[in-house]
Chains A and B, each alone.
Chain A
Amino acid sequence: MNALRNFMDKIKPYFEKGGKLEKLHSVYDGFETFLFVPTTTSPKYGSHIHDPVDTKRTMSTVIVALLPALLFGMYNVGYQHYLATGQDVNFWTEFLFGFLAVLPYILVSYIVGLGIEFIGAQIRGEEIQEGFLVTGFLIPLIIPINTPLWMVAIATAFAVIFAKEVFGGTGMNIFNVALVARAFLFFAYPTHMSGDAVWVRTGTALGFGGGSVLDAFSGATPLGQIATASTSIPNITDTFGHSLGFWEGFIGLIPGSVGETSKIAILLGAVILLMTSVASWKTMLSVFLGGAFMGIVFNFFGPDTAAAHFPWYNHLVFGGFAFGAVFMATDPVTSARTEKGKWIYGFLIGCMAIIIRVLNPGYSEGMMLAILLMNIFAPLIDYFVVDSNVKKRLKRAATSTIK
């Protein structure tokens, strides 16, 4: 480690004011603080000791929590590919295909996003913030596997610049950045983001795999089938017409966005986030409660459509509901920040997601829009919670006797 430390010290002057590489100062700083804990000490006034927790630790924990979903997603991409092309291959071949298919998205998202972050940090003269490490990891997990890479690049750039940097960087944004990237894709390139052809990679992954698709194959997601159902009886099937139930949705070997399909993997992530208290259990639980509540309401009192008749518990395991509840709704920056507010915020996300699914024929999945919508309302929810504290204080002042 000493050699590395010496090397960092040696090249440091180049990046400081007046150095040749002055314009890359924040990049150097980013790497230095990544490698070695900064020796900045507490100021003269204030706490002289500090908790070892920092944003690097927090953000990397979220990434660890996302790993099961990513790994399963990779496997599922390969599994769906070889299922569709009718080839019988072993686990590792399936995983390799998925790995090669997903890897470019991760690279594109990180290179574009972090590039912009580095520039932004340099312009503002700040340290590089770790928020994008999570955002950049989320983006590949919430898009269909056939999305062209250049679209991902544009969407990432748009989201980072217009949903984050213009507000002042991590911690200042109003909308969940990864969801803004997805919403951008959704509205800018709708044909690539929905329909039957986008969810299963039938072509090759970096030249690997490939083959001709079997005749019986249909790549529609369960929620897509529900939205376009001709009858009012919800009947969902996998890509070869076998009917799907709750447990198939829970295990997740079905078409869908890369990271959203397996509820087992998401549950593992949820356990990590909750054990470490990085995410709020209140938000997470209340999203599911809201979704279940609205699902039940539609089951009993809804219109006579397949979406309304779709059992409430299936709503929770199909589509991006669980992924959104665990990883997106709990984003502390864009979520409600008061404890009471989190209950309301989460519950309304769950309700809205199901309302959009059932009542809006244009959107088969409502989670993204529900979370973005509630991102707008989160400050309002907090306002009322804070206001009740203020009112209590004013009331107390009015009844106080001794002046």
Chain B
Amino acid sequence: MSPLIKTTKGLDIQIDGKAEKIVGETILSDIIALVPHHFHGINPKVMVKAGDYVKAGTPVFHDKTFENMNFVSPVSGKVLAVNRGEKRKLLNIIIQREKETQYENFSVQSLEKLTPEEIKSALMNAGIWPYVKQRPYDVIANPNKTPKAIFISSFDTAPLAPDYNFILKGQFQDFQTGIDVLAKLTPGKVHLGVKANVPSNEFLKVKNVEITEYEGPHPVGNVGIQINHLDPINKGDVVWTINVQDVLYIGRFFNKGITDFKKIIALTGPEVIQPQYYKTLPGTSIEPFISGNVQKGIPLRYISGNVLSGIKVEIDDFLDPYASQISVIDEGTEHQEFLGWAMPRINKFSASHLFPTRLIQKKFFKKILGKIQFQYDARLLGGRRAIIMSNEYDKVLPMDILPEFLFKAMITGNIDKMELLGGYEIAPEDVALCEYVCTSKLPLQLIVREALDVMKKELE
């Protein structure tokens, strides 16, 4: 039996549009884009020009800080354009996808013989490295450091998140190889967080990892919460994290010698007509997923990622490489809510006790009112204020951190205090729920992101 950690703090937001467990046809747009700003904190240097032919696995740009860190094309085809914006900032690289994918061949030696350094350089060369992230700062892992542990969460508790047990069906061999590779990169343990009480959970059979089971509301599936409970990050520590599906890239690379970035994502959200899973590749256009499959007549917001911590994208934008889902919600600009603050707002989901959310979920009211479908849109539903209410954030952050004081240190740019109050342990996604429940409507994830960037700059 693996140890079980229960958390009580957090919030499961009830929102419609969970993906049905069907994997639809492979969706790939004809043009695929590599967007440098999807990889936070890198400084890209282009390695191709328009007209070049690239294979899947051919480097397209690399990082200027770590010159061996390649970012590779997920498809084969011709480079259509290298788009730059103001001050020649690299915006994206567009590739015309071929029907039949040609893969760059990497000669991979057997795992036993490789040293950690050789593994790292192979992964960097093949463009898989950017999927390995690090705490502190929630950025692409610095390959020159050795992590004290590697953390993987095998489940996502975010609203409408995909089920990785379903996605990984038939791919556990690649997953195991990926784990074995990662295990060679740390002198410590590879931790796999597994959701408790899931019947026939395949992740419990994974070997060469330290399995811990978790039970509780969102955000317990966030790797940051799991790190805080098992082996918290102190000053000077480095921990690596990687998404479940990204472990597969490593596994496929060492099993087959190619960079195969195929992944399954969930199309979710209340405005999706048929929410389900699709096979795809990072960098594909959002448009083919949603055309004909979303509600018409209202302005919609498309999100690469989940509704709490994803990125707002336009219909012709591209899927970011870390996303495992696309969410579609009502933009909300069409609503004119008269005296909304004074209304009962039965169909709004509130974590506070100021709305009847809890009441209407009691059996008695469920009988009278039927099941209430909570309505969501992208409005802030209030004005931005200074922090007024206390103990709001604490209730949804199951970490040994005093969030309000950390946020205040971040807002005022006090780096010493950020260090002392848990700045090394936190990532924007961990505070997404704090942002949801905030009475003062503060953009907390942005505050954390910017503060982490300042910390990284000043402390490294």
Residues of A participating in the B interface, judged by any CB pair closer than 8 Å = 1-2, 4-5, 33-58, 60-61, 127, 129, 131, 168-172, 275-278, 280, 332-333, 335, 337-339, 382, 385-386, 389-390, 392-394, 396-397, 400, 402-403
A50 to chain B, nearest CB (A): 5
Complex contact B384–A386 (CB within 8 A) = no
Complex contact A56–B402 (CB within 8 A) = no
Contact code string B113-145 (vs A, CB < 8 Å = 1, else 0): 000000000000000000000000000000000
Chain A residues within 8 Å of B188, by CB: 402
Complex contact A41–B308 (CB within 8 A) = no
Query: Which residue of chain A lies nearest to B339 when distances are taken between CB atoms in the complex?
Result: A35
Q: In whole angstroms, what is the CA distance A120 to B273 when docked?
A: 48
Chain B residues within 8 Å of A39, by CB: 332-333, 335-336, 379
The verdict on A60 contacting B445 (CB below 8 Å), with A37-B337, A49-B436 known, is no
13 CB contacts below 8 A, A to B, read A34-B339, A37-B337, A42-B378, A47-B435, A48-B327, A50-B436, A53-B381, A53-B437, A55-B385, A56-B342, A57-B354, A171-B440, A278-B354
Q: Does B230 contact A (CB under 8 A)?
A: no
Residues 402-460 (chain B) with a chain A CB within 8 angstroms: 402, 404-405, 420-422, 428, 432, 435-441, 443-446, 449
Q: In whole angstroms, what is the CA distance A61 to B439 when docked?
A: 13
* Known contacts A50-B436, A276-B353, A393-B422; 7 further A-B pairs (Cβ under 8 A): A37-B337, A50-B441, A53-B352, A53-B355, A57-B342, A60-B342, A392-B400
The bracket for how many chain B residues form the interface is 35 or more
Choose, from B81-89, B196-204, B283-291, B309-317, the stretch at the interface.
B309-317
Query: Which residue of chain B lies nearest to A172 when distances are taken between CB atoms in the complex?
Result: B386
The verdict on A47 contacting B445 (CB below 8 Å), with A52-B345, A389-B421 known, is yes
The verdict on A52 contacting B381 (CB below 8 Å), with A45-B449, A61-B354, A393-B420 known, is yes
The answer, among A1, A38, A46, A53, for a CB contact under 8 Å with B445, is A46
Interface of B, helix, strand, loop or mixed by DSSP: loop
Chain A residues within 8 Å of B443, by CB: 43, 45-46
The verdict on A397 contacting B235 (CB below 8 Å), with A48-B312, A280-B390 known, is yes
Chain B residues within 8 Å of A129, by CB: 385-386
Complex contact A55–B388 (CB within 8 A) = yes
Q: In whole angstroms, what is the CA distance A400 to B345 when docked?
A: 49
Q: In whole angstroms, what is the CA distance A1 to B343 when docked?
A: 15
Complex contact A400–B439 (CB within 8 A) = no
Query: Which residue of chain B lies nearest to A55 when distances are taken between CB atoms in the complex?
Result: B385
Q: In whole angstroms, what is the CA distance A385 to B311 when docked?
A: 36
Complex contact B329–A48 (CB within 8 A) = yes
Query: Which residue of chain A lies nearest to B401 when distances are taken between CB atoms in the complex?
Result: A389
Complex contact B353–A170 (CB within 8 A) = no
Complex contact A337–B390 (CB within 8 A) = yes
Q: In whole angstroms, what is the CA distance A52 to B13 when docked?
A: 13
Complex contact A53–B350 (CB within 8 A) = yes
Complex contact A400–B329 (CB within 8 A) = no
Q: In whole angstroms, what is the CA distance A2 to B338 when docked?
A: 10
Query: Which residue of chain B lies nearest to A399 when distances are taken between CB atoms in the complex?
Result: B234
The answer, among A38, A127, A403, for a CB contact under 8 Å with B379, is A38
Complex contact A332–B390 (CB within 8 A) = yes
Residues 362-408 (chain B) with a chain A CB within 8 angstroms: 376-391, 394, 400-402, 404-405
Residues 222-254 (chain B) with a chain A CB within 8 angstroms: 232, 234-237
B25 to chain A, nearest CB (A): 28
Complex contact A403–B439 (CB within 8 A) = no
Chain B residues within 8 Å of A333, by CB: 388
B159 to chain A, nearest CB (A): 8
The answer, among B236, B339, B382, B388, for a CB contact under 8 Å with A403, is B236
The verdict on A49 contacting B307 (CB below 8 Å), with A402-B148, A403-B236 known, is yes
